[in-house]
Amino acid sequence: PAYAPPSVCAISKDGRIVAVGGKDVELQLWSTESGALLSTLRGHEIAWTSSNDSTFFVTVQEDSKVYVYDSETLKQRQLLGHPEEGLTCASVSMDDLYVVVGGARGTVYSWDSDSGVEYRQFDDGHVGPVSTVMCFPMPDNTHVIISCGASDHTVVV
């Protein structure tokens, strides 16, 4: 970031894209193969994560919008949601079916990554911001969401 300390530093699961962003609300996407700047996205300084098959990535904006982008075209595919609280983190399930984000007030949100339909919202579990969220597929085709609270020192499954 040119004008602010970095707040996002991540690499796609296939190692081809590096995302770096700061509080200057610019997220820059770089090619690890050529070193070239691929794109600059405005307003995506909270979180960035790629799908496990690296076909899409998710950004979380300062205004709490959650977007899915196509990794090849770098074009926006869909707006997943716009919760009524600041967002703090994001993750894609290991099977790429769900996008999960954590909120500043302790809420965890999840959406179907393909249709964009809200899957679940968990309002109870944390007092204060969620620092980490993860979603894991289980053998019975269900999913387990795990979240950690930053200030309440709790893990919720």
Token pair for 119? 């899957």
Residue 155 neighbours by CB distance under 10 Å: 12
Asked if residue 2 belongs to a domain, the reply is no
46/38: higher pLDDT = 38
Answer whether residue 84 is part of any domain.
yes
| Out of 58-62, 87-91, 95-99, 140-144, least confident range | 58-62
What whole-number distance in Å separates Cα of residue 81 and Cα of residue 103?
12
Is the residue at 79 inside a domain?
yes
Give the CATH number of the domain where residue 98 resides.
2.130.10.10
Q: Which domain holds residue 82?
A: 8-156
* CA–CA separation, 136 and 139 (whole Å): 10
Mean pLDDT of the chain: 89
Query: Does the residue 94 lie in any domain?
Result: yes
In this structure, which amino acid lies at residue 6? P
Residue 30 lies in a domain: yes
Burial (CB count <10 Å: 0-12, 13-18, 19+), residue 40: exposed
Average pLDDT estimate for 38-44: 84
Q: What is the dihedral of CA 126, 127, 132, 138, to 10 degrees?
A: 0
Instruction: Work out how many domains the chain is built from and give that number.
Output: 1
- Domain assignment present for residue 1? The answer is no
pLDDT for residue 149: 85
Of 19, 18, 20, nearest to 2 by C-alpha is 20
Q: Does the pLDDT of residue 112 top 80, yes or no?
A: yes
